Structure 1
Amino acid sequence: MLEGSPSISVFQLKVRLLGINPMIWRRLLVSSDISLRELHGVLQVAMGWEGIHLFMFDKGAVHYGSLELGVMPANLTLQSLGLRENEKFHYFYDLNVSWQHEIRIESVNVLGEGKALPSCIGGANICPPEDCGGVEGYLARRDEAHGLDAFMDMGTIADFLHDILEDGDKARVPDENQLEELELVMDRMNARKPFLSDKFSRRVINKAFRDGEHKRFMHLQIM
């Protein structure tokens, strides 16, 4: 990045994952000379994806992305797309289920000296887990994680603890059937965890940017 060059600007982007409510979004600052391939890495880090699937950018009728898709290579810069403030384009990840992200250019500003880019300056909520079935699969799993079955599993654990401690200080050893049922309950609860958490950490994302994690996705081999 040529930080001293007057021809380079800072693009402020608002990225949101479509089809899910509450909204999953990030506000990012990137250099105008960033390639779409590097922007792919920035989006992977910022949103919380793992880079294990193909990707594609859609600008009008032209598509850029993973060469396996037969689209244009993602080597051109963001600036070369000719985008202006309030214009939108789209980023697709995992084309089997097509996670679609809307990217809006909120502003274009002069690059200040010493400005660390890329940078995340805002956002909310975390992305779905990889390979959870797309928007419909994610929403179904999220509903289940907050539903009756989850409530019943919590009741099973409460009953288990009550039975063990019912004799006061004398702990009763659970039988084999109880232990087997508890193991199944715990497996289900652990599987629900990614669909319950909504914590978003700007600090963690920016540390990953400083460590160059986004550049790793530029060369990641998709199997």
Structure 2
Amino acid sequence: MHTVCYGSWELTAESPDIGLNALKLRKGSRFLYEYDLNVPWGHEVRLEERRAAKPRTLYPCCIGGDGNCPPEGSGGAESWMHRKDEAFGLETDEDVMTALALIQEISDTRSLAIFDDPDRAEELQELLFRIESREDLLGKPFKRRQANKRLRRNEHLTHMHQQM
């Protein structure tokens, strides 16, 4: 097996400016892409198909994708998944039940007067904080158009060279 490391100069890699075409990959070829070498995220990439370049299309471009992207600085795949599991465990059920009880009480009394009580207002504030903190762990939904806007702004080059 022949391997070459492309990317950060700090890792004695070949030029980070090398294009995928230079790798001479065949259909079905796979390679490992590591993002953020401080806490690596390993992505296995497989070449599924080669297509001819389309006229008037800016490259590189994203033609598809799926899933949510974990937030930056989430500590690697294992850490992110552990935090996500913890955040959406039994405590989530308890928070949903608390929120439903508050909504039911407001509905029954047809009044927001329960929040005149400082303890109840604080309870709601803490509940909202816990719910909002879980939102980041959902990650950002994949949006192809957004990915292509970032590619046109050459953001991929900035990330690629950030280790230099």
Tell me, yes or no, whether TM beats 0.5: yes
Q: Does 1:194 align with 2:136?
A: yes
* Cα deviation 1:12-68 (Å, max 9, x = unaligned): xxxxxxxxxxxxxxxxxxxxxxxxxxxxxxxxxxxxxxxxxxxxxxx9432121223
In structure 1, distance between residues paired with 2:141 and 2:54: 31
Deviation of 1:197 (Å): 5.4
State percent identity of aligned pairs: 38
Distance 1:164 1:107, change over 3 A: closer
Pairing partner for 1:80 from 22, 35, 58 = 22
Q: Does 1:156 align with 2:98?
A: yes
> What residue is the counterpart of 2:34 in the other structure?
92
Deviation of 1:122 (Å): 1.5
Amino acid at match of 1:153: D
> What residue is the counterpart of 1:21 in the other structure?
none
* Cα deviation 1:71-113 (Å, max 9, x = unaligned): 3331333222222221111110122332001111222333232
In structure 2, distance between residues paired with 1:91 and 1:122: 18
Instruction: Note if contact 1:88-1:102 (Cα within 8 Å) is conserved in structure 2.
Output: yes
Q: How many residues align?
A: 164
In structure 2, distance between residues paired with 1:203 and 1:95: 27
* Cα deviation 1:105-155 (Å, max 9, x = unaligned): 222333232232222111110221222232222222222343211111122
Moved more, 123-132 or 191-200: 191-200
Structure 1 segments of 4 or more deviating over 6 A?
Answer: none
Instruction: Note if contact 1:65-1:71 (Cα within 8 Å) is conserved in structure 2.
Output: yes
In structure 2, distance between residues paired with 1:170 and 1:132: 38
Distance 1:93 1:214, change over 3 A: closer
Return the TM-score normalized by structure 1. 0.61
Structure 1, unaligned stretches of length 5 or more? Answer: 1-58
Moved more, 110-119 or 99-108: 110-119
Structure 2, unaligned stretches of length 5 or more? Answer: none
> What residue is the counterpart of 1:3 in the other structure?
none
Amino acid at match of 2:61: S
1:1-223 alignment, distance < 5 Å: 60-169=2-111, 171-196=113-138, 199-218=141-160, 221=162
Q: Relative to total residues, which structure has the larger helix share, 1 or 2?
A: 2
Return the TM-score normalized by structure 2. 0.79
Instruction: Note if contact 2:10-2:163 (Cα within 8 Å) is conserved in structure 1.
Output: no
- Cα RMSD of the aligned pairs, angstroms, is 2.8
